[in-house]
Amino acid sequence: MAVPECDRPLRRRAAVQMGYVALFALFVLWPNLRSAPSLVLVVATTLTAVWLIGGLATWVRLPRADELLLCGSAAPVLLGLTQLAYRIDFLRIHGALTRPGAATESAAGFIAVWAAELLLVLLPGVAFVWRNARSLAPLQPNRPESASKRT
């Protein structure tokens, strides 16, 4: 069955997002849920499931699937902002922002993990939310045109 030309960008966008969802679930959510489950991780996992369902719904062209994509794509943003807040709070508690620092291996590891979280979780999440918000289908009125005209 040939895919119509107008569906290719939509399906490509859904495929890219479903690929990211799979990697996000496999490398971010699953290890964290196994080691230290929390409410934020449960909510992010639920949003990730909604995102995957939205991608599948987009693939088969169900109406309003773009709304599921938008809601679900908030999962990496939620997790990325939470981790950002935890890392800034850690630096504040340990005085790393005010103390002239001794650069150690643990500080380099801390910064490397933080950079990876920003580049691989938060920034793609923001990009997906922005893209999905821009591609929302406009709402169509449910009533016929003649019903809105009063005589």
pLDDT digits (tens, 9 = 90+) for 29-83: 999 999 999 999 999 999 999 999 999 999 998 988 999 999 999 999 999 999 9
Question: In this structure, is residue 14 part of a structural domain?
Answer: yes
Question: In this structure, is residue 104 part of a structural domain?
Answer: yes
Question: In this structure, is residue 141 part of a structural domain?
Answer: no
Question: In this structure, is residue 18 part of a structural domain?
Answer: yes
How far apart CA 109 and CA 124 sit, in angstroms, is 22
The predicted model gives 129-144 an average pLDDT of 82
**Full residue range of the structural domain in which residue 67 is found:** 5-136
Count of the separate structural domains present in the chain: 1
Question: In this structure, is residue 79 part of a structural domain?
Answer: yes
Question: In this structure, is residue 146 part of a structural domain?
Answer: no
For residue 132, the model assigns a pLDDT of: 95
Percent of the chain past pLDDT 70, that is, above it, reads 81
Residue 92 gets the label, from left (phi > 0), alpha (psi -120 to 50) or beta, of: alpha
Report the residue count for the chain: 151
Kindly provide the b/e burial profile for residues 14-53, where b requires at least 16 CB atoms within 10 angstroms of the residue's own CB: beebbebbeebbeebbeebeeeeeeeebeebbebbebbbb
Question: In this structure, is residue 150 part of a structural domain?
Answer: no
Percent of the chain past pLDDT 90, that is, above it, reads 60
Question: In this structure, is residue 81 part of a structural domain?
Answer: yes
What SS3 state is found at 144? Answer: coil
The predicted model gives 116-139 an average pLDDT of 93
